[in-house]
């Protein structure tokens, strides 16, 4: 999706917020709740994710994005910026603060920009071991327990990158078992209103073939670009139902409830990149949250936290506002109820 792209201009005119101090995390992460709301935060804006989380009432954040600085590299940086390595100096205090509050961060690789410039880690790096080492470094540096992989654009058709990524996942999972760590992987994939396209399904099939456990499949339930006017809440449900059927074919021994517990949805508050025909309202968010709780899906998210305000009525696809009339943090407050209803 075009919105999920590192390097875009962030929250215009916003001042940076400082995170309160807290202990740095241990090396062993705590599993996320069985139901979790974790909106994306644009990490390139200079703001403190922990401070934004506190202001919006979020305990969990998906932090976007990690990618290489140049195609061909095996070194991942936040936002592809070489002065933002995977180290405690880069977002370590923010992540530790979230954890001290009882929440956590989900680092996310990829996004549209990385996925179309050859700087998505598994597209860029041809060493499975090196890719796995990058994933491990997130766990040991920040004490996180889930890594998100946003695969779209060119990456979703890059068979070699897909295979390397899934082989690396399997390696990390074996390492986690040996060392007593909790490490989950989620795939974030574009969707139609009826479920994954063939290329998205192929990503998951390759994971099965490589013995890589996929814990969550997050559907990007927006930017359909199909020329139709959408009821975004209804189309979220049909997309997830389609994915449920696709997962049932991939994992025939899993129960229906277990399959639902592997599903996540990502919304785009307000007017998305396509335009007013794809507008996700606060009322839609209420309907989706209630449905998600009833189905006991795994995660609810939206792109992005900096959009969760009504500062630009009528504007579509902005990174800093939703384009609709809304109270600030309306989507956060609606979705956060999902985490409190989750089962530990």
The CATH number for 169's domain is 3.20.20.80
Q: How far apart are CA 24 and CA 240, in angstroms?
A: 37
In this prediction, the residues of the chain whose per-residue pLDDT falls under 50 are: 1-27, 342-344
Q: Tell me whether residue 157 is in a domain.
A: yes
**Coil, strand or helix at 335:** helix
Please give the pLDDT value at position 340: 63
Q: Tell me whether residue 92 is in a domain.
A: yes
Q: Hey, CA dihedral for 196, 199, 201, 207, is it positive or negative?
A: negative
Please give the pLDDT value at position 334: 97
Q: Tell me whether residue 30 is in a domain.
A: no
Compute the half-sphere exposure of residue 207: CA atoms within 13 Å on the CB side of its CA: 22
- Please give the C-alpha separations between residue 143 and each of 68, 102, 105, 190, in angstroms, as whole numbers: 21, 13, 9, 28
Please give the pLDDT value at position 29: 80
State the first-to-last Cα distance of the chain, in angstroms, to the nearest integer: 32
Q: What is the CA radius of gyration of the chain?
A: 18
Q: Tell me whether residue 124 is in a domain.
A: yes
Please give the pLDDT value at position 341: 57
Q: Tell me whether residue 66 is in a domain.
A: yes
Q: Centre a 10 Å sphere on the Cβ of residue 283 and count the other Cβ atoms it contains.
A: 10
Q: Tell me whether residue 15 is in a domain.
A: no
User: What is the domain count for the chain?
Assistant: 1
pTM of the model: 0.92
Q: How far apart are CA 180 and CA 53, in angstroms?
A: 29
- Residue pair 295/284 in contact (Cβ under 8 Å)? The answer is no
Q: Tell me whether residue 10 is in a domain.
A: no
Please give the pLDDT value at position 24: 38
Q: Tell me whether residue 23 is in a domain.
A: no
DSSP 192: B
Assigned token pair, 146:
């889930």
Taken as a whole, the chain contains a residue count of: 344
Strand ranges (E), 123-174: 146-150
- Residue pair 104/98 in contact (Cβ under 8 Å)? The answer is yes
Please give the pLDDT value at position 295: 97
Give me the domain span that covers residue 81.
36-340
Closest CA relative to residue 306, chosen from 15, 66, 81: 15
Assigned token pair, 154:
């060119």
Assigned token pair, 115:
């996925």
């Amino acid at each position: 999706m075009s919105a999920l792209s590192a390097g875009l201009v962030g929250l215009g005119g916003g001042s940076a917020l400082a995170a309160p101090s807290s202990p740095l995390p241990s090396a062993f992460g705590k599993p996320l709740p069985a139901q979790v709301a974790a909106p994306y935060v644009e990490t390139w804006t200079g703001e403190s994710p922990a401070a934004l989380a506190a202001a919006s009432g979020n305990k969990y954040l998906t932090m976007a994005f990690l990618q290489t600085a140049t195609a061909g590299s095996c070194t991942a940086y936040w936002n592809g910026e070489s002065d933002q390595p995977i180290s405690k100096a880069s977002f370590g205090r923010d992540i530790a603060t979230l954890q001290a509050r009882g929440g956590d961060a989900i680092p996310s690789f990829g996004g549209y920009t990385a996925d179309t410039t050859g700087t998505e880690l598994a597209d860029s790096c041809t060493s499975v071991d090196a890719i796995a080492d990058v994933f491990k470094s997130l766990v040991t540096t920040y004490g996180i327990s889930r890594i998100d992989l946003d695969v779209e654009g060119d990456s979703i058709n890059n068979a070699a990158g897909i295979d390397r990524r899934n082989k690396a996942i399997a390696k990390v999972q074996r390492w986690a078992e040996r060392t007593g760590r909790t490490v989950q992987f989620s795939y974030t994939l574009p969707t139609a209103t009826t479920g994954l396209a063939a290329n998205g399904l192929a990503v998951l099939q390759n994971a099965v073939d490589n013995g890589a456990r996929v814990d969550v499949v997050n559907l990007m339930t927006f930017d359909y670009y199909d020329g139709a006017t959408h009821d975004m809440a209804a189309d979220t449900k049909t997309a997830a139902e389609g994915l449920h059927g696709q997962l049932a074919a991939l994992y025939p021994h899993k129960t229906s409830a277990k399959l639902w517990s592997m599903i996540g949805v990502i919304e785009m508050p307000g007017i998305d990149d396509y335009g007013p025909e794809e507008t996700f309202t606060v009322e839609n968010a209420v309907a989706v949250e209630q449905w998600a709780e009833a189905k006991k899906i795994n995660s609810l998210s939206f792109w992005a936290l900096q959009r969760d305000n009504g500062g630009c009525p009528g504007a579509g696809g902005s990174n800093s506002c939703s384009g609709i009339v809304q109270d600030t943090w309306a989507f956060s407050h609606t979705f956060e109820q999902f985490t409190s209803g989750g089962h530990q």
